[in-house]
Structure 1
Amino acid sequence: MTSDQTRSPEELRAEMVDRIIANRQAIAGLHPLSERVLATMRRVPRHPFVPDADLVQAYAEEAVITKRAADGAALSCASVPGVVAMMLDQLNVQPGDHILEIGAGTGYNAALLAELTGPTGQVTTVDIDPEVTTHARQALDAAGYERVQVVTGDGRFGAPERAPYQRLIVTVGPWDLPPAWWHQLAQDGRMVVPLRWRGQARAVAFVRRGDRLESDAEELCGFVPMLGDGQDGERSATLDPGGLVTMTWDVDQDIDPKALGDIFDQPRQNVWSGESVGPMESLDGIWLRLTASTPGTCRLVAGQAAVDAGLRDAVMPARYPAVVQGESLAYLTLRSVSEGERRWELGASGHGPRGADLAEQICDQIRAWSPDRTIHPTIVAYPAGTPTAEIGSSHIIDKPHTRLVVRF
């Protein structure tokens, strides 16, 4: 039998795409990816764009870090192939499209875009880091994609010289939508962006409709945070003396971690929803519903050390949604339905004077989510300054350049 290290790039690339298909089939509610995107990924090699990775790693379902900061934080990478495929599917590139990519990375995504738009289209990729753009340029040229334009510059300002664009894709994680992206996107054009709000990130496929952007698809994802003015919109703090539990929230929220004090020293109040899940069911829709309805929605991060210290239940993953109001906090949790059965009831654990009320708010959203667990909301972005009366919602997420509404 041939070992992994001696297998051809073609074999590994075919397995990469087959794995992407299988992974999506295993998760309820994910639609099949377009055959056109899958065929393009079978055709375009990934390994020349990540020369420091071996062949197996180049085609594995993992990100390949290509540049790190002095503290070890990732500054640039080749994204996980499954996420690349998902976002290209959302973008729905048509032959002849003019495409703007924010975040050049290794150049691999730009090569895929060039294949999808074809010889009559244009691809422009922008990155703020000259080392990144130099590598992308060299890799694209070596792979035969000289027609892709690589620009060194601040992605917040796009590339106005080739606007308007029928398609715009962002491969870094912005917290806000810079005005240049709106202005450079053609009417009815599509923008796919891994937007961050309320402690989570979603690859949102927006369509420009006049003076607003309306989504027609979204999926959970994660990207290296975007740098620059208006993108530093998240704050984090630890909630226990040992630093085992970290809370992340947005600057527009009325959340003060100091008001929580020693929150986990206060009695835990559990509320159960009566709804249960199996092992392959995603809970992401609950978090998304909370962002649409509950102003104090944020993120908690707590690993096994926090479980061992009794600060959180052992049944939840390391990252999960929470709700904060004043001196109180509640977070999503679950418990086994019965001994030996692989099914869990969903609920929430609360601490503080309003902990039980906040836990009940989480359970309300669990019950709202449960009847149709794969339903997707419409996410609408309006320019900052749009009057609230025009938006018609009582729950608006305000950012410096954008007013965001999540509607179910």
Structure 2
Amino acid sequence: MDTTTDCTPEVLRTRMVDQIVGARATSAPVEAALRAVPRHAFVPEATLDQAYDVDLAVITKRSSDGTPLSCASVPSLVATMLDQLQVASGDRILEIGAGTGYNAALLAHLTGPTGQVTTVDIDPDVTAGARRTLDATGHRDVHVITRDGALGDPERAPYDRIIVTVGAWDIPTAWTDQLAPGGRLVVPLRWRGQTRSVAFTHDDGRLVSDSVELCGFVPMIGQDGERSGPIDADGQVMLYWDADQPIDPAVLQGVLDQPQHSVWSGVTVVANEPFDGIWLRLTSVEPGTCRITATPAAIESGRCDPAIPSRSPALVEDASLAYLTLRRHTDDGDERRWELGAAGHGPTGPELADRLCDQIRAWAHDRTAQPLITAYSAGDSDDQLPSTNTITKPCVRLTVVY
């Protein structure tokens, strides 16, 4: 390990936790765990400064093409998800995704000597590394198991808490079955091209949310529910959508060459102000919500100009498309402002742009509002679900309601 730094691990760890606590509300038990567990011991490939960088994920394994396969998550996100989990002393906990073992060590600190922590990962290299580091740091009581995380660990079920530290596109039935009534599941769940850390409570066979936070994670192996394809001849503009959506990129070929209809919402944001809540709102009412990306060449040519080129929400309906965009507005004193709007293409592009702007305005009315997300079993009949937009996955059906 490169230890090039002017500070000791203890000083750097204190600084990291102080930054996390200063930026967001963190529970006292989670703060104590972050101060107690030496993160640098779990990421020996990183420098001390990297190990205690509050906003740095440390990649610990890559595929042959460089794609990240495992990592130590950003410390600030680790704190957020542990707060969502609401661990109590003595809890039985299942973690899906062993990573470096750092999160399991934090969980062991939170549960105390009367608790039980099990961490599961499909990759034997990952579990072997986690086992070694957990042993070396005094966490020998943590159970480390190599198996498909979708299966959970029925041998030690039921669990009071389940936390998933890989990106999940679905919620396997085993997780719900192994979660005690009233227990909590925290999962980085992906739908309609965006990922949220959702804290669910197990309520009469259903999972009901009470906390939703923006996040990003290495995807879980074996859950291939997202589709993608270009909508231009050069492959410079891509769409990403879910398997349950009737989106066909072939039908959309050339849509961006059709006249653009721009609609402006009158809603403005300042630099670095998050507006991801618009995307979340769209998933609650618009079945055609998906993700659009555009290369620098596509933007420079004027073909496509999404608000965030690498990840912006879009609406698709048959051969028509609208996507979130923005334009420079005015300077408000020392603050630069941008107005949010939508660009529509195709026969119903103008209507889609209007509908997207409706959701921009709804978001602006209460920018911190969180939806109620409910995960029903895929086997539940339609009359058991509210009459709202339903997101269908193999194991669960989601509703997102504001």
Question: TM-score of the superposition, structure 1-length normalised?
Answer: 0.94
In structure 2, which of residues 152, 159, 174 is the aligned counterpart of residue 158 of structure 1?
152
Q: Paired residue for 2:275?
A: 283
Q: Paired residue for 1:51?
A: 44
Q: Distance in 1 between matches of 2:382 and 2:126?
A: 41
Query: Once the 2 structures are TM-superposed, how far is the Cα of residue 282 of structure 1 from its aligned partner?
Result: 1.5
Tell me, yes or no, if structure 1 residue 200 matches structure 2 residue 194: yes
Q: Distance in 1 between matches of 2:214 and 2:8?
A: 32
Q: Paired residue for 2:7?
A: 7
| Cα distance change on mapping 1:23 and 1:329 into 2, 3 Å | farther
SS in 1 for 2:330: coil
| Cα distance change on mapping 1:190 and 1:315 into 2, 3 Å | closer
SS in 1 for 2:5: helix
Q: Distance in 1 between matches of 2:337 and 2:79?
A: 31
Q: Paired residue for 1:33?
A: 26
Tell me, yes or no, if structure 1 residue 174 matches structure 2 residue 168: yes
Query: Once the 2 structures are TM-superposed, how far is the Cα of residue 55 of structure 1 from its aligned partner?
Result: 0.8
Q: Distance in 2 between matches of 1:181 and 1:159?
A: 9
* Residues 375 and 399, structure 2, Cα contact 8 Å, conserved in 1: yes
Q: Distance in 2 between matches of 1:129 and 1:15?
A: 33
Tell me, yes or no, if structure 1 residue 350 matches structure 2 residue 335: no
Q: Paired residue for 1:27?
A: none
Tell me, yes or no, if structure 1 residue 83 matches structure 2 residue 77: yes
* Residues 393 and 405, structure 1, Cα contact 8 Å, conserved in 2: no
Q: Distance in 1 between matches of 2:345 and 2:283?
A: 20
Query: Once the 2 structures are TM-superposed, how far is the Cα of residue 343 of structure 1 from its aligned partner?
Result: 1.5
Structure 1: 5+ residue runs without aligned partners?
25-31
Q: Paired residue for 1:323?
A: 315
| Cα distance change on mapping 1:314 and 1:371 into 2, 3 Å | closer
SS in 2 for 1:83: helix
Query: Once the 2 structures are TM-superposed, how far is the Cα of residue 386 of structure 1 from its aligned partner?
Result: 0.5
In structure 2, which of residues 356, 369, 373 is the aligned counterpart of residue 375 of structure 1?
369
Query: Once the 2 structures are TM-superposed, how far is the Cα of residue 20 of structure 1 from its aligned partner?
Result: 2.3
* Residues 307 and 313, structure 1, Cα contact 8 Å, conserved in 2: yes
Provide, for residues 1-50 of structure 1, a one-character-per-residue CA deviation record: whole Å limited to 9, x for no partner: xx9613100111112122323444xxxxxxx1212212211221111111
Q: Paired residue for 2:242?
A: 250
Q: Distance in 1 between matches of 2:303 and 2:17?
A: 41
Query: Once the 2 structures are TM-superposed, how far is the Cα of residue 311 of structure 1 from its aligned partner?
Result: 2.2
SS in 2 for 1:264: helix
| Cα distance change on mapping 1:387 and 1:266 into 2, 3 Å | same
- 1:34 is matched by which residue type in structure 2? S
* Residues 337 and 343, structure 1, Cα contact 8 Å, conserved in 2: yes
Q: Paired residue for 1:312?
A: 304
| Cα distance change on mapping 1:37 and 1:303 into 2, 3 Å | farther
SS in 1 for 2:245: coil
Query: Once the 2 structures are TM-superposed, how far is the Cα of residue 315 of structure 1 from its aligned partner?
Result: 5.2
Provide, for residues 260-309 of structure 1, a one-character-per-residue CA deviation record: whole Å limited to 9, x for no partner: 11122112110011222222432111100100000000001224332212
SS in 2 for 1:337: strand
Q: Paired residue for 1:392?
A: 386
Q: Paired residue for 2:143?
A: 149
Tell me, yes or no, if structure 1 residue 70 matches structure 2 residue 64: yes
Deviates more, 1:321-330 or 1:239-248: 239-248
* Residues 304 and 314, structure 1, Cα contact 8 Å, conserved in 2: no
Query: Once the 2 structures are TM-superposed, how far is the Cα of residue 339 of structure 1 from its aligned partner?
Result: 5.1
* Residues 17 and 38, structure 1, Cα contact 8 Å, conserved in 2: yes
Q: Distance in 2 between matches of 1:95 and 1:339?
A: 51
| Cα distance change on mapping 1:305 and 1:82 into 2, 3 Å | farther
- 1:400 is matched by which residue type in structure 2? P
Q: Paired residue for 2:203?
A: 209
- 1:42 is matched by which residue type in structure 2? R
Give structure 1 regions of 4+ aligned residues with deviation exceeding 4 angstroms. none
Provide, for residues 214-272 of structure 1, a one-character-per-residue CA deviation record: whole Å limited to 9, x for no partner: 000010101111112xx110001122223222210001001001001112211211001
Q: Distance in 2 between matches of 1:314 and 1:193?
A: 28
- 1:190 is matched by which residue type in structure 2? R
Identity %: 60
Query: Once the 2 structures are TM-superposed, how far is the Cα of residue 317 of structure 1 from its aligned partner?
Result: 4.6
Q: Paired residue for 1:238?
A: 230
SS in 2 for 1:190: strand
SS in 2 for 1:5: coil
Q: Distance in 1 between matches of 2:233 and 2:34?
A: 48
Q: Paired residue for 2:265?
A: 273
Q: Distance in 1 between matches of 2:19 and 2:277?
A: 24
| Cα distance change on mapping 1:23 and 1:310 into 2, 3 Å | farther
Q: Distance in 2 between matches of 1:373 and 1:74?
A: 33
Q: Distance in 2 between matches of 1:21 and 1:305?
A: 41
| Cα distance change on mapping 1:201 and 1:142 into 2, 3 Å | same
| Cα distance change on mapping 1:91 and 1:284 into 2, 3 Å | same
Deviates more, 1:259-268 or 1:312-321: 312-321
Q: Paired residue for 1:18?
A: 18
* Residues 196 and 213, structure 2, Cα contact 8 Å, conserved in 1: yes
